[in-house]
């Protein structure tokens, strides 16, 4: 398991990150995502740690706080030394009734950080992330609240999730101008069937030295191959897309992608899912790929992707099947910049 610096920071994280969105669900939406109890979560965490994963991601909204509680108890049950793991959590979504129990305001951030620390049973959070963009709160207010948490020692590093490139750059500029704690990472969706990030976000991350954490690297299970050619209602009964068809996938383009992946998987002697994960691990912009699972076997298969080596021909074949169509201003920038190459 390779370790990589998270952005321009001295924090090193494993190339795979254990996602805990499947921990603690019961009824409704979170029950569809996962219903793992304490024993099952303990088993997944042990499997991840034994494989060399030191990075674990959760969020306050996952199962209404139960994901954080179960993760914190799992760390205790396994006797995991605090300094050996990097714990990341997030804040934004509704955690109560009323307009002030949600968002990225100073009040919500400060109160929810305290609540997350209590649920996790920790004295600090390694990476605290804003789970999405809050159009009702000035970015400066959000950043100043996060800076307060860093200065008080409750949080070590700061990240964002699901922000547009211009929003991230505005945050970076404000933090630099006001000498606030910097943004070191962005958590975003990126897969072979969802490469939109390459238009604006990926170049921005590379230019600013911001690390990328990838969520849903298998496109909600689609890149496992079990949904090929099926509508959501016809999806495999044991898969998440049977009841929660997300993230959106262009299934016409996706079918060609899966054909290419199956050919590579057959030649490499690995699973289709491992090809999807290995492709991400070969992308320079990617720091860590978040893998979640409901069973130890699923997690072990995901971990096996770290041993899959894709050569230039493999990468070219995947690129040909999945590359984005030209879009303005990209094609114009390429044309006008040609005289510099």
Residues annotated catalytic, as ranges = 62
- The closest of 216, 279, 240 to 17, measured between CA atoms, is 216
Can you say whether the dihedral through the CA atoms of 74, 157, 81, 47 is positive or negative? Answer: positive
Rounded Cα distance, 14 and 60, in Å: 22
CA dihedral (22, 242, 226, 50) in degrees, to 10, reads 10
- The closest of 264, 145, 285, 277 to 213, measured between CA atoms, is 285
Please, which residues have CB within 8 angstroms of residue 150's CB and are 6 or more apart in sequence?
156, 157, 158, 181
Phi-psi category of residue 162: left, alpha or beta, with phi > 0 → left and psi -120 to 50 → alpha: left
Stretch (H or E) spanning 91: strand 86-91
First to last CA, the chain: 36
Stretch (H or E) spanning 306: none
Neighbours of 230 (CB within 10 A): 15
């Amino acid at each position: 398991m390779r370790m990589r610096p998270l952005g321009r920071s001295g924090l090193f994280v494993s190339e795979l990150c254990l996602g805990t969105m499947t921990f603690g669900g019961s009824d409704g939406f979170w029950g569809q995502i996962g219903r793992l109890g304490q024993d099952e979560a303990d088993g997944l965490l042990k499997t991840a740690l034994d494989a060399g994963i030191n990075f674990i991601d959760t969020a306050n909204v996952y199962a209404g706080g139960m994901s954080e509680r179960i993760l914190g108890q799992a760390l205790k049950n396994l006797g995991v030394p605090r300094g050996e793991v990097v714990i990341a959590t997030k804040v934004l979504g509704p955690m109560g009734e009323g307009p002030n129990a949600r968002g990225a305001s100073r009040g919500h951030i400060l109160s929810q950080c305290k609540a997350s620390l209590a649920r996790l049973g920790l004295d600090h959070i390694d990476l605290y992330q804003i789970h999405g963009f809050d159009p009702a709160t000035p970015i400066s207010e959000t950043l100043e609240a996060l800076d307060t948490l860093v200065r008080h020692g409750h949080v070590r590093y700061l990240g964002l999730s699901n922000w547009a490139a211009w929003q991230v750059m505005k945050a970076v500029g404000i933090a630099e101008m006001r000498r606030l704690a910097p943004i070191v990472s962005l958590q975003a969706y990126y897969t072979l069937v969802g490469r939109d990030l390459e238009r604006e976000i990926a170049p921005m991350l590379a230019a600013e030295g911001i690390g990328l954490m990838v969520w849903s690297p298998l496109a909600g299970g689609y890149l496992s191959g079990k949904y090929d050619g099926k509508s959501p209602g016809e999806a495999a009964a044991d898969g998440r897309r049977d009841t929660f068809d997300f993230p959106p996938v262009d299934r016409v383009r996706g079918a060609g992608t899966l054909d290419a992946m199956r050919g590579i998987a057959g030649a490499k002697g690995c699973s289709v899912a491992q090809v999807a994960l290995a492709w991400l691990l070969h992308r320079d912009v990617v720091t860590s790929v978040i893998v979640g699972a409901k069973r130890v076997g699923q997690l072990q298969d995901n971990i096996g992707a770290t041993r899959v080596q894709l050569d230039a021909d493999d990468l070219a074949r995947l690129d040909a099947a999945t590359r984005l169509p030209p879009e303005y201003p990209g094609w114009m920038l390429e044309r006008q910049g040609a005289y510099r190459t």
